[in-house]
Structure 1
Amino acid sequence: MTALGILLGMLVVAALLFVRAFALAHSRGAIICRVRVRDGDWKNGVARYVGGELRWIPFLGLRLRPRRAIARRGLIVSDRRRLATGEGPAGYWAVVCSDGGGPVSLAMSEDALTGFLAWLESAPPSAYLDLDAA
């Protein structure tokens, strides 16, 4: 293979990844959301509300399936704060949540945060009952 062929192949892959990220970001019902598990780095992606779950798909990757699903049932918001300068985009908020899998931080715009909190509060009363423990 020549250098030109390799370069062309890399450009095609980059273009496909860009088209995938653009399609994810502009699909109906999607919000731009960053995720950080424990003290790792922020990862950019898109989140969608599907039933009782918030499903997160990273921008970079080949799969269109969610890499992380956060269930509304049992989700506890322990902290929320505005992101510090240099930590992320201006106007974004960080929300620290706990689910059965441990702590996870989400970063989103103020509008998306309002929608996220409304989604949490709109759960039916039985959503927080643990019927297996009875």
Structure 2
Amino acid sequence: MTAIEVLAGLAVMAALLVIRYLALVHGRGNIFCCVRDSNGTWRSGVARYAGGELHWIPFLGLRLRPRHAIARRGLIVCGRRRLNAGEGPEGFWSIDCHSEGRRVSLAMSEEALTGFLAWLEAAPPSAHLDAA
């Protein structure tokens, strides 16, 4: 393989990642949202509401299927706070949630947080939710 072939392959891969990024960001109803992984670092991605679930898709990856699906039923918001400088994306809010015995932390803009809380409150009465 020549250097030109390697560079062409890398350029094609970079172009596919850019197209994937644009498709995720500009998709209808998608919001920029980060999820805290087990190491405590924020992973960037896109969240979208699908029925009674919030689907999260990472920016880096090959699949367009969600990596996390957080069900609205039984979702409890334990706390929320503005992220400090250097802690995560600037101007974002951290939302700590508890669902089905597992904890999940999301980071999103104030506008996205308003939509997230409205989505929780719009749940049917049988959803047993608790929004802080």
Alignment check: 8 A CA contact 1:34 1:106 kept: yes
Gap runs ≥5 in structure 1: 130-134
**Cα deviations across residues 18-45 of structure 1 (Å, max 9, x unaligned)?**
1101110011100000001344211000
Secondary structure, aligned partner of 1:73: coil
**Cα deviations across residues 13-71 of structure 1 (Å, max 9, x unaligned)?**
01101110111001110000000134421100000000000000001110000000000
Residue 126 in 1 paired to residue 129 in 2? no
Distance 1:38 1:104 in 2: 10
Residue 68 in 1 paired to residue 68 in 2? yes
What is the TM-score of this pair, normalised by structure 2?
A: 0.93
Secondary structure, aligned partner of 1:96: strand
Aligned residues: 129
Q: Segments of 4+ in structure 1 off by > 3 A?
A: none
- Map residues 42-121 of structure 1 onto 2, 5 A cutoff: 42-121=42-121
What is the TM-score of this pair, normalised by structure 1?
A: 0.91
> 2:104 is aligned with what amino acid?
V
Alignment check: 8 A CA contact 2:35 2:106 kept: yes
Distance 2:19 2:89 in 1: 22
Q: CA deviation at 1:7?
A: 1.2
Secondary structure, aligned partner of 2:98: strand
Aligned to 2:2: 2
Distance 1:6 1:101 in 2: 47
Aligned to 1:132: none
Q: Give RMSD over aligned pairs.
A: 1.3
Alignment check: 8 A CA contact 2:37 2:43 kept: no
Secondary structure, aligned partner of 1:13: helix
Q: Which moved more, 1:54-63 or 1:83-92?
A: 83-92
Aligned to 2:22: 22
Secondary structure, aligned partner of 1:55: strand
